[in-house]
């Protein structure tokens, strides 16, 4: 496999010439039998429509950071989708793998944050580097997402037992890593820096997960979390957030009487072990709403943050939507 191109690793290998497009990668994936793998050699691959892995036991693997999926000017779509992003998919997709490549979202040449397939096929989704939707037992490893019009990597839709390791995200329009309706998953070896929103954003039932060995540096917020329960954060280092290091809150909703806290969306039962936060422009650890209880911090180090130490909910907590200029 020394030549450039796309290789389908099966008994009969199929090769796409060097300089192939995202459409050709998609055709290679669609030709795979169950359990197949498409391998991308070093080089840049121009993507004009999302590359979608939506059949069980599929792998898309590059050759390291020299394999680049580059979103074409004005494509205005996600780069890679894992799973079938429908409003009510019939079942979860399982045992997918994405590995060993760099995704460049080319955000300066995209105009919109959302995408919907022609004919109204899948639901509207955000233009992330990697969008993970309703998958189980899936692995993402040694992937870089940068300069995306929305987030770097986003999991949602009932994702379970996702493993993300050795993942890097920088210079994305919103979060480096965002997770919604994600459970029983592991995120480890994260380098999330200089994103325009949060390094990590957690919301909408992020429960029973592990995030470990993560460096979050130079983001607007280090860690933003709402509606998150019984998660373990181990070995997080947060540096130089433009606002707070950790911001923990209950979700709010707009009603006829104004913005009100949404019931049953508080953060509870979360544990932080070996947390280090330094050089942030706000509080190192801000618990914004009084309903966020039974969260424990062990062995933390807070140093040189502009607004001192940690803070519990005040009588007039800050609306979470204001922190990132929303």
For the stretch 258-288, pLDDT in tens is 878 999 999 999 999 999 999 999 999 999 9
For residue 325, the model assigns a pLDDT of 47
Q: Tell me the domains of the chain and their CATH numbers.
A: 1-186 (2.160.20.10), 197-326 (no CATH)
Q: Tell me the C-alpha distance between 221 and 202, whole Å.
A: 12
Per-residue pLDDT, averaged over 238-249, amounts to 98
For residue 4, the model assigns a pLDDT of 44
| pLDDT at 38 exceeding the cut of 70 | yes
pLDDT digits (tens, 9 = 90+) for 147-204: 999 999 999 999 999 999 999 999 999 999 999 999 999 999 999 999 999 999 999 9
Which helix (H) or strand (E) covers residue 25, if one does?
Answer: helix 22-30
| pLDDT at 42 exceeding the cut of 70 | yes
For residue 33, the model assigns a pLDDT of 82
Geometric angle at alpha carbon 208, from 226 and 240, rounded to 5°: 50
Structure tokens at 260: 């009100």
Number of H helices, E strands in the chain: 1, 31
CA 101 from chain centre, in angstroms, equals: 15
Structure tokens at 160: 């379970």
Question: Out of 70-74, 120-124, 137-141, 295-299, which region has the weakest mean confidence (pLDDT)?
Answer: 120-124
Could you tell me the pLDDT band of residue 7, with boundaries at 50, 70 and 90? low
Question: Out of 36-50, 92-106, 244-258, which region has the weakest mean confidence (pLDDT)?
Answer: 244-258
Per-residue pLDDT, averaged over 29-47, amounts to 90
Helix/strand/coil for 160: strand
Per-residue pLDDT, averaged over 135-155, amounts to 98
Question: Out of 60-69, 97-106, 204-213, 306-315, which region has the weakest mean confidence (pLDDT)?
Answer: 306-315
Beta bridge partners of 318: none
- Rounded to two decimals, what is the model's pTM? 0.92
pLDDT digits (tens, 9 = 90+) for 63-89: 999 999 999 999 999 999 999 876 555
Phi then psi for residue 230, to 5 deg, are 60, 45
Mean pLDDT over the full length of the chain: 90
Higher confidence at residue 69 or residue 253? 69
């Amino acid at each position: 496999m020394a030549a450039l191109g796309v290789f389908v690793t099966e008994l009969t290998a199929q090769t796409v010439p060097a300089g192939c497009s995202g459409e050709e990668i998609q055709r290679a994936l669609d030709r795979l039998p169950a359990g197949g793998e498409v391998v991308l050699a070093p080089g840049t691959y121009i993507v004009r429509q999302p590359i979608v892995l939506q059949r069980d036991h599929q792998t898309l693997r590059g050759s390291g950071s020299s394999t680049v999926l580059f979103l074409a000017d004005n494509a205005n779509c996600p780069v890679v989708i894992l799973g079938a992003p429908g409003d009510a998919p019939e079942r979860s997709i399982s045992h997918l793998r994405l590995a060993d490549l760099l995704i460049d979202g080319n955000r300066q040449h995209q105009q919109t944050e959302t995408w919907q397939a022609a004919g109204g096929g899948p639901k509207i989704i955000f233009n992330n580097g990697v969008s993970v939707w309703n998958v189980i037992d899936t692995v993402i490893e040694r992937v870089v997402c940068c300069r995306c019009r929305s987030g770097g990597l986003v999991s949602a839709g009932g994702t379970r037992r996702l493993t993300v390791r050795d993942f890097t995200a920088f210079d994305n329009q919103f979060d480096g890593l965002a997770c919604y309706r994600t459970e029983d998953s592991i995120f480890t070896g994260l380098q999330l820096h200089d994103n325009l929103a949060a390094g990590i954003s957690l919301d909408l039932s992020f429960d029973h997960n592990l995030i470990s060995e993560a460096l979050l540096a130079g983001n607007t917020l280090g860690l933003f979390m709402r509606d998150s329960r019984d998660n373990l954060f181990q070995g997080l280092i947060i540096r130089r957030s433009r606002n707070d290091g950790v911001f923990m809150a209950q979700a709010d909703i707009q009603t006829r009487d104004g913005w009100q806290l949404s019931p049953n969306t508080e953060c509870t039962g979360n544990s932080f072990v070996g947390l280090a936060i330094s050089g942030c422009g706000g509080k190192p650890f801000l618990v914004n709403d009084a309903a966020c209880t039974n969260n424990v911090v062990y062995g933390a180090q807070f140093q040189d943050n502009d607004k001192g130490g940690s803070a519990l909910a005040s009588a007039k907590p800050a609306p979470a939507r204001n922190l990132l200029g929303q």
